[in-house]
Amino acid sequence: MGLDPASLRLDQQLLHFMDQLEILEEKRQKLNTLIEDGWFNISKARYSMGNKQVSALQYASEMEPLVHVYASGSENGEAEFKCERKGDQAEEPEGSETVETIGPTDGGLRRRVNIKKYENIKEKVASKDECEKEPQLNTKNEKSPCQYQDPLKWFGILVPQNLKQAQAAFKEVITLAAEISTLQSAIVKTRLEMQTQMKDKQKMASELKE
């Protein structure tokens, strides 16, 4: 004797529901581990920088989000979240620029001091030109409005590696959070569908009895 189609559909949906719960649990575990890693690294950074150096006091007065979530809701109430990081493409070249410019400008300033000290010697006119050019480049970079955008800089220029590791962990957590939100929404939707199907089935069964 075969099962009726309503029961079969319900069984299939239940299996799908269980699969979704299993994936959710896996992602949850990963999320928890990543958050724990993040806290651990924040604590390590606090230990090396000082107790008050990694706290809410260091938050910038101007903040711009680097991550956006694109939420698309369907008619049946299911929502899909997609994470998009604004700074990913822009940050890397910026970072490489700062690494390049910090070196030469420091050298330029040093040379300037040397030039003042040994003014009477009158040497290297060309190096003077270089010095003049380099600070110009530097001022251009200082004016760029993107400086406050990397939250790592709120805590100083030379932050410990642990803080960078914490940032990396939390970046991953954010992506995972969007995935989990999508999954949670799908679970709620599956649950609602199953409830309505179950009610329909019971209705049909009671009608057959009568």
Q: Which helix (H) or strand (E) holds 85?
A: strand 79-85
**Cβ closer to another protein: 131 or 180?**
180
- Looking at residue 1, the DSSP 8-state letter turns out to be -
Distance between CA 116 and CA 139 in Å, rounded? 22
Q: Does 151 bind another protein (CB under 8 A)?
A: yes
Q: Please state the closest distance from residue 142 (CB atom) to another protein, in A.
A: 22
What sections of the chain are H helices per DSSP?
5-49, 87-117, 125-143, 161-209
> What is the sign of the dihedral through the CA atoms of 101, 106, 109 and 111?
negative
Q: Does 15 bind another protein (CB under 8 A)?
A: no
From the list 7, 147, 161, 195, which residue makes contact with another protein (rule: CB under 8 A)? 195
> Residue numbers of the site for another protein (CB under 8 A)?
17, 21, 24-25, 28, 31-32, 35-36, 38-39, 42-43, 54-56, 59-73, 77-79, 81-82, 84-87, 151-152, 163, 166-167, 169-171, 173-174, 177-178, 180-181, 184-185, 187-188, 191, 194-195, 198, 202
